[in-house]
A and B are shown apart, each in its own frame.
Chain A
Amino acid sequence: MTTTIYIPKDAAALALGAEKVATAVTAEIAARGLDAKIVRNGTRGMVWLETLVEVVTSQGRVAYGPVKAADVASLFDAGFLAGGAHRLSLGRVEDLPFFAKQTRLTFERCGVIDPLSLEDYRAHGGLRGLEKAVAITPADIVKTVTDSGLRGRGGAGFPTGIKWKTVHDTVADRKYIVCNADEGDSATFADRMIMEGDPFVLIEGMAIAGIATGATKGFVYIRSEYPHAIVTMTRAVEIARAAGILGAAVMGSPNAFDIEIRSGAGAYVCGEETSLLNSLEGKRGVVRAKPPLPAIEGLFGKPTVINNVISLASVPVIMDKGAEHYRDFGMGRSRGTIPVQLAGNIKHGGLFEVAFGITLGELINDIGGGTASGRPVKAVQVGGPLGAYFPASMFDTPFDYEAFAAKDGLIGHAGITVFDDTADMLKMARFAMEFCAIESCGKCTPCRIGSARGVETLDKVAAGIEPQKNLELVTDLCNTMKFGSLCALGGFTPYPVMSALTHFPEDFAPRPVAEAAE
């Protein structure tokens, strides 16, 4: 019988040498005349174990990792095709604590299946949500999504069902579904993982959104920094079209829906929904004033659902298993699961899908194993470049939209960057302003000019020039940016700056300046 070996093709695995591992495994199979085949799956999300090679055995899928190309011959020598013991043996994937502690709803198939095999997708529960959706009325689909409590996973946390209902209720000759795959926040890679590891779930989610709202055309706007995701999604759309999942008759129903993949062009601000719409229209990615809401006047002036990848990819499981099944996970008004991304200076980095309510401390220390450097944690930034820096004393904060907001933070896209005690928080605050200055679309003054002045003022603080006065100026500037900016770029840059200042004031104190040599 042919033995199946799984070697990930996810970008993180490739960055850690998966291609060389696959080449070496192929060569060994040929050289030893073995009966085995390689399947290129997505990643399981345990990035510190990549390249994670799995073998299908009588005990289940047995894993080895992190495998380097140089380890491959010894794996064959150890009989890994039959699950033989090796120093890289990890046992069954499902038994690994990092994996066993998760609640995988959205990422159920990611890393398990061949991303571009529709048979695999169906065999693992794929398309059941869409089959149910085509059998009920659009209003009932919208109701199911609303009842699930799903909130936009892109960062803003707006209830997905309400957005859909607005588009459903707006009469127009043409409507659009736009998937925001411009995942530009540092520490986030959930969108990339799902697009590379389970692209059909996103296609299925978008088709359901189309049927629910009467939209017939969908766009996936993927950032150009994700070339692998663009390739996989493009291919998946072609396969879905050929199989009748997309096209004039979705799953044989009277509903038409098709998808086009578009590439961004390296502008962070295009992750903001209205500038993304401008970019899709072929314009400068400048933010639009709201109202009108995109749900009423969106892409090309037509009613548009614009959702994040994870929001849309969570819809199929909600349709399949019901609103209650999803809603039963979570806490307060944060329902369901959230794919937390553990990144930066962390021992066990990767994606951890879990119900809302888990604390920051559990995630960093118990799940993530603390810092990679082994030094104490100084700060964590939750929610990307626009998220607040929290000190370890705030690790009791539960992962919940409202709990984070109450502590002047945000969950954002649920990425967590860990910093050890060597981090300089004044430098990080300055970087937040600098990043805003580089990426500002330029439309509103608080963001465009405020960020540039913010960098200058923080430089003065660092140089010890009237630090007290200049810190007051920074605080005032942050206040102006927070309340005066059109979108989250200028509006949220104050979060990292002010949280750094509030929680780590010692880093902003005058410091001894290195004397010049002359």
Chain B
Amino acid sequence: MIMQAQSTEIATQTRAIVEGLKGLEGPLLPILHEIQEEFGYVPQESLPVIADELNLSNAEVHGVVTFYHDYRRQPAGRHVLKLCQAEACQSMGSDAVADRIKRLLGIGFHETTLDGAVTLEPVYCLGLCACAPAAMLDGEVIGSIDENVIDEIVAEVRK
């Protein structure tokens, strides 16, 4: 029953979001961004509602959601830590930074700690290539990461 109520709630909220944005030219990405903003991920229950409202097939909406790295299919941890793994960061030791953080948190990329504290993800370039290695923690940018910064980051997400 609770599950039922939740999915009705999601459908209702999704419909409201779609109604507000469907007037845009090419509204699907803005809608998905807004849904992820609202729920923290793109719930499966949202997809048929979007398809119905935009006159698309379920397959088309599913295809778009799964194409883009940004859209989550399940909720993330309370914190999201993105570590840049692109070339400029690699040249400054991003591999070692990632290894150390993975070890300290006990998780790999695309994983969430068991206590739900943090989700770890790779990112390919934050445009902070002149102050590498770089990361983004909950939308805040961090540059020139060294061991001290790693300890600060880990302490922050463990709070």
Contact = CB atoms under 8 A, between A and B. Distances in A.
Find the residue from B60, B68, B134 having the highest chain A CB count within 10 A.
B68
B156 to A, nearest CB: 14
Contact of B129 (A263, A268, A349, A438): A349
Interface stretch (B1-9, B89-97, B98-106, B112-120): B89-97
B32 to A, nearest CB: 7
Interface of A: 11-12, 14-16, 47-48, 50, 183-189, 191-192, 217, 224-228, 260, 262-268, 279-286, 300, 341-346, 349-351, 372, 381, 384-385, 415, 417-420, 423, 428, 431, 435, 438-439, 441
Contact of A341 (B130, B132, B142): B130
Contacts of A183: 127
Given A225-B123, A226-B127, A265 B92 contact: no
Contacts of A281: 26
Contacts of A186: 86-89, 124-125, 129
A226 B123 CA distance: 12
Tell me what chain A mostly uses at the interface: helix, strand, loop, or mixed. mixed
Interface string B50-85: 000010000010011001111100000000000000
Q: Report the interface size class on chain B.
A: 35 or more
Given A47-B130, A185-B125, A439-B124, A419 B91 contact: yes
> Counting chain A CB atoms within 10 Å of each CB, which of B125, B134, B143 scores highest?
B125
B30 interface: yes
A129 to B, nearest CB: 26
A417 B128 CA distance: 12
Contacts of B128: 11-12, 15, 189
A264 B126 CA distance: 13
B33 interface: yes
Contacts of A282: 26-29, 54, 64
Contacts of B88: 186-187, 343-344, 415, 417
Contacts of B60: 283
A12 B144 CA distance: 10
Interface string B15-32: 000000000111111101
Interface of B: 24-30, 32-33, 54, 60, 63-64, 67-71, 86-92, 123-132, 134, 136, 139-144
A48 B68 contact: no
Given A47-B131, A225-B136, 19 more contacts: A12-B130, A16-B143, A50-B131, A184-B125, A185-B125, A189-B128, A225-B127, A265-B32, A265-B33, A265-B70, A265-B71, A266-B70, A282-B26, A282-B27, A282-B29, A282-B64, A286-B67, A417-B88, A417-B91
The 7 closest A-B pairs by CB, nearest first: A282-B28, A349-B130, A15-B143, A343-B129, A186-B86, A265-B68, A266-B69
Contacts of A441: 67
B125 A417 contact: no
Contacts of B64: 282-284
Given A14-B141, A428-B87, A344 B129 contact: yes
Contacts of B32: 265
Nearest to A221: B29
A285 B86 CA distance: 21
A487 to B, nearest CB: 15
Contacts of A225: 123, 125-127, 136
Nearest to B122: A438
Nearest to B66: A284
A12 B87 contact: no
Nearest to B123: A225
Given A262-B29, A265-B70, A280-B26, A189 B130 contact: yes
B30 A262 contact: yes
Contact of A423 (B91, B125, B131): B91
Nearest to A385: B87
Contacts of B27: 282
B21 to A, nearest CB: 11
A385 B86 contact: yes
